[in-house]
Structure 1
Amino acid sequence: MTVTATAAPVTTPGPRPAHRLARWPVGIVAALVAAAHLAVAWRPGWWFDEALMLAIGRDHLDWGSADQPPGAPLIAGLMDLLAPGNVLVLRLPAIAATAATVVLAALIARELGGDARAQTLTAIAQGTGIWLAFTGHWVTPYTLEPLTWLALGWLLVRWWRVRDDRLLVALGVVVGVGAQIKFQILLLAAVLLVSVLLLGPRPMLRRPQLWAGAAVATAIAAPTLVWQALHGWPQLRMAPVVAAEAASLYGGRTGVVLGMVVSAGVMGSVLVLLGLWRLVRDPALSELRHLALATVVLYAFFAATIGRPYYLVGIYGLLAAVGAVGLQRRREAGHRRLRWVAWPAAALSAAAAIAMLPLSVAAAAPQVADTVVGSTVRAWEALPAEQRSRTGVMAGSYIYAAYLDVAAPGDALPPALSSNRSYGWFPPPGDEIDAVLYLGAGADELRPWFADVRPVGAAGNDATLWLATGRLVPWDDFWPTLRHLDVQ
């Protein structure tokens, strides 16, 4: 009798069981990150985007604004309501979100089979990212966004490990909430969906819970998307504005391309690149290759469109987790050449991140706001009382307008006007206002609409104060023509 041998089926290595969460080391890293940001968050002054969030949340809250959703302004407004004018209280949610990303990144490493050492290295890489070190205590959309991106990544990796389809509904919740903070998460979700279609795991696409999650995301994001639609989709017009600003802010396309790597930090950059390589090459991670494809596509897209260097910050922790677990696998296989490198690299990464904190304090220093606001208040008070009753205060830039709104003492000034960014889509003043005290380098935008426009003083920081009098037509007739998104 002849026995015919049959080949064993070829199987792809799957996910390993998760280790316990390294609570103490990860918790210590998260606590140190929070403490570092708390150490500088109490300093007076606002980063200009933070001042905008506060101005919108306190005085202009709606389902959207020209260049961002309402999430960050809502948080800023609520914190200011709890403790008016207290910058430390204002910044507590941002610090909590930054510390939470450290824990989430470690949780992703855990889902990938990372032991305590891999989880801790991931936490350090996430906590010492250059961009988050610089911005991690400011209440801005780009500080809160990484938490939503990492939550999305953690849900994807956990679903890969445990195949619990309830996680797919949770994905929709995260995407919807993330869209109320920053719209880029919608692009991330779309690219991930296409990447799964191309590379798998395709069974995910057949799960009804995934499409239920998509419906949930749409429902949560709908109010701010409707606001955008009703106002002509100003957010879509931001792309060329961002590209035009890149030359002066980041050194153009080259600065953006390099910045999207450097922003991950010293250790983060290494682990991110290692994580990408491992996602492509490791058979055990074949069902997660869509994460590598999505990262590369987004990197190429943001490089081609000349976006911001921080646009990929939210995905660094996930890739760093893959890289840290890759180092663990080398260690488990007996490769020891890098055993003495990881911790010195972690120390160097922490030092680089700590060095960013004084720069952050300097960037949000109150001198500029104090100078321009003080000059504007003095010019306003110099006007006759009768003229002040029919005069508005306007700034050429949303930055100056936000400073006027949040830094002016008490009721020293009326609510600020501006045609720039979010301010341009706020309602114009009533027609009882027939004059404007204008803060900016020039006041050319007012000359067609006022009989007289003349300088009345310097405001510092290369700005001038102008008085425009004799409004010629109703505000509603010309205000829409002034709206613009570029910062002059």
Structure 2
Amino acid sequence: MTTSTTDIAPLAWRPVAVITAIVGVLQLGAAIAGRGYWFDEVYMLAIGRSHLDWGSADQPPLTPALAALSDTLFENSVVALRIPAILATMGTIVVAALITREMGGDGRAQTLVAAAQASAPWAAVSGHWLTPYALEPVGWLLLVWLLVRWIRVRDDRLVLALGVVAGLAAMTKFQVVFFCAIMLTGVATVGPRALLRRPLLWAGAAVGLLICAPTLWWQAQHGWPQLKMAEVVAAEAEPLYGGRASIAVLLFVFAGPAAAGLALYGLLSLVRDRALRDYRFLGVTFVALYAAFAATGGRPYYLCGLFGALAAVGALSLQRRREAGLTRWRWAVWPVYLISAALALGGLYLGVDLTRSDDGERIVQRTAEVYRSLPAEQRGRTALIGESYIVAAYIDAYSTEYDLPAAFSPARSYGYFPAPGPEIDTVLVIGDNRPDRLRPYFTESRKIDGPEDQIDVWLMSGPTEGWDTLWPKMRTLEVV
């Protein structure tokens, strides 16, 4: 089915704009109310402030670069830091509606999809945190929109733009490479195969590769740590989300009842409605990615950038039933959307609550207290090591406020940052998870006594080898 350039409805800009504005206001309010940092965004801030490079062990550079830019323009402003994430979250709503329009959806279908995208619980929780997973969904939806629009108008400049968007998305999160590979496999399997014969598609792929080449080079120079993260993520599936079976359910839960319901109906429609055959690649892509993420123990939010596209198919199918006079289940729409809205508001509150705690700053206060208790001469020879990269990131985020030196950590990207200098013969290890992991690298260690409700601090001295030798041995991609 190829639609002409004249038989699609106008963009339902009024309801879409209202829904988008409501989400923007709510997310901005959440950004203001949640005065503390979420640990993943403080990690982005720490990388951007002190270690910005073309890449890091587990993150491409775009999100840390945005954090650095925000911090340069509006120093220490948590709200300003979160503006890019809020804009990206709002953008997913608009692009999901645009996808629906390109498929032939009328104003009502566009509004249904916009509301479904807006009421996704995970987007409500994390839509104001400056993290790669808050920025990623709009990139995936843009890729689908460009491809769906190409199917309708066959303008090859659109497939060239695909490469540009994919390259930028890869600078946000490498997962888009897997998404694009699966989506093109879906096109090769069920069509429209004419896409694969377009020279500008492969020119666009080259442009995308050129855009993300610097971060790929960084990965190659450091032994491809990003590839090793898949095993780490799988190992964290059980303690974080209850294992693979739980993740298989949460992949839908995180999308919300409205988006998940429309997506499932869209998936069914792709199978049985030949008029939708040009969009069957979306069904193949969704099923393949769902199976891969569920089987490997991926994060439950990994599919959040695709539900809006499949929901557009579902909304279009509902529109056709309505146009055919088949409105038997029309009454079910409102309850589903009300439940979705309630879950989204609950998710928004949770997102605020998770950043309202002052636990991160309490860690830094405890660190500063112990560090200042050391003799001045010893402080000059002492490095701060966060047992977890999260602890190190919090110390770096509040370092100027508490007059602390830069933090180190063997965990995640911190393990690939420069090691302590040769003058360092003592470290304060902040963290209470696995202090025994670092003890073998020092000749002496003792716990610094403090309040029971505070994080543990260990003083370790006498490194057994030079830091250039020790640091690679201590390095780990685990959270620890």
TM-score, normalised relative to structure 2: 0.97
Equivalent position to 2:469, from 462, 467, 477: 477
Equivalent position to 2:392, from 401, 407, 412: 401
- Tell me how far apart the structure 2 counterparts of residues 130 and 284 of structure 1 sit (CA, whole Å): 32
Contact 2:244-2:294 at 8 Å conserved across structures? yes
- Tell me how far apart the structure 2 counterparts of residues 284 and 114 of structure 1 sit (CA, whole Å): 14
Q: CA RMSD for the aligned pairs?
A: 1.4
- Tell me how far apart the structure 1 counterparts of residues 75 and 466 of structure 2 sit (CA, whole Å): 35
Q: How many pairs align?
A: 476
What residue number does 1:449 align with?
441
Confirm whether residue 306 of structure 1 aligns to residue 297 of structure 2: yes
SS in 2 for 1:176: helix
Please give the per-residue CA displacement for 1:408-442, whole angstroms capped at 9, x wherever unaligned. 45252111100000100001121011110110124
What residue number does 1:424 align with?
415
What residue number does 1:25 align with?
15
Following TM superposition, by how much is the alpha carbon of 1:458 offset from its aligned partner in structure 2, in angstroms? 4.0
Contact 2:20-2:118 at 8 Å conserved across structures? yes
Please give the per-residue CA displacement for 1:380-433, whole angstroms capped at 9, x wherever unaligned. 110111111111100110111111111345252111100000100001121011
Following TM superposition, by how much is the alpha carbon of 1:291 offset from its aligned partner in structure 2, in angstroms? 1.2
SS in 2 for 1:341: helix
Contact 1:443-1:453 at 8 Å conserved across structures? no
Following TM superposition, by how much is the alpha carbon of 1:199 offset from its aligned partner in structure 2, in angstroms? 1.2
1:43-442 aligned within 5 A: 43-410=34-401, 412-441=403-432, 442=434
What residue number does 1:8 align with?
none
SS in 1 for 2:305: helix
* 1:480 partner letter: P
1:452-463 aligned within 5 A: 452-458=444-450, 463=455
SS in 2 for 1:373: helix
Contact 1:246-1:306 at 8 Å conserved across structures? yes
Following TM superposition, by how much is the alpha carbon of 1:155 offset from its aligned partner in structure 2, in angstroms? 0.5
Q: Percent identity?
A: 53
* 2:273 partner letter: D
Following TM superposition, by how much is the alpha carbon of 1:450 offset from its aligned partner in structure 2, in angstroms? 2.1
Structure 2 gaps, min length 5: none
Please give the per-residue CA displacement for 1:16-52, whole angstroms capped at 9, x wherever unaligned. 6221001110000000011111111013111111110
What residue number does 1:15 align with?
3
- Tell me how far apart the structure 2 counterparts of residues 345 and 150 of structure 1 sit (CA, whole Å): 23
Contact 2:136-2:305 at 8 Å conserved across structures? yes
- Tell me how far apart the structure 1 counterparts of residues 437 and 339 of structure 2 sit (CA, whole Å): 50
- Tell me how far apart the structure 2 counterparts of residues 458 and 332 of structure 1 sit (CA, whole Å): 70
Q: Bigger shift: 282-291 or 364-373?
A: 364-373
- Tell me how far apart the structure 1 counterparts of residues 212 and 135 of structure 2 sit (CA, whole Å): 16
Q: Bigger shift: 132-141 or 16-25?
A: 16-25
TM-score, normalised relative to structure 1: 0.95
* 1:262 partner letter: V
Contact 2:365-2:402 at 8 Å conserved across structures? no
Following TM superposition, by how much is the alpha carbon of 1:346 offset from its aligned partner in structure 2, in angstroms? 2.1
In structure 2, the CA distance between the partners of 1:38 and 1:460, relative to structure 1 (3 Å rule), is farther
Please give the per-residue CA displacement for 1:246-296, whole angstroms capped at 9, x wherever unaligned. 111111011110011111112111001011111222211112211111111
Following TM superposition, by how much is the alpha carbon of 1:455 offset from its aligned partner in structure 2, in angstroms? 0.6
Please give the per-residue CA displacement for 1:37-89, whole angstroms capped at 9, x wherever unaligned. 11110131111111100000111001111111011111111111111111111
Q: Bigger shift: 263-272 or 94-103?
A: 263-272
Contact 2:363-2:454 at 8 Å conserved across structures? no
SS in 2 for 1:468: strand
* 1:477 partner letter: T
* 1:431 partner letter: P
Following TM superposition, by how much is the alpha carbon of 1:242 offset from its aligned partner in structure 2, in angstroms? 0.8
Confirm whether residue 38 of structure 1 aligns to residue 28 of structure 2: yes
- Tell me how far apart the structure 2 counterparts of residues 287 and 461 of structure 1 sit (CA, whole Å): 59
- Tell me how far apart the structure 2 counterparts of residues 19 and 448 of structure 1 sit (CA, whole Å): 68
Rg larger in structure: 1
Contact 1:130-1:264 at 8 Å conserved across structures? yes
Please give the per-residue CA displacement for 1:430-485, whole angstroms capped at 9, x wherever unaligned. 10111101101243333233221111134766731011122332110110111101
What residue number does 1:7 align with?
none
- Tell me how far apart the structure 1 counterparts of residues 30 and 281 of structure 2 sit (CA, whole Å): 39
Following TM superposition, by how much is the alpha carbon of 1:101 offset from its aligned partner in structure 2, in angstroms? 0.5
Q: Bigger shift: 193-202 or 339-348?
A: 339-348
Following TM superposition, by how much is the alpha carbon of 1:118 offset from its aligned partner in structure 2, in angstroms? 0.5
SS in 2 for 1:410: helix
* 1:15 partner letter: T
Following TM superposition, by how much is the alpha carbon of 1:304 offset from its aligned partner in structure 2, in angstroms? 1.2
- Tell me how far apart the structure 1 counterparts of residues 57 and 453 of structure 2 sit (CA, whole Å): 26
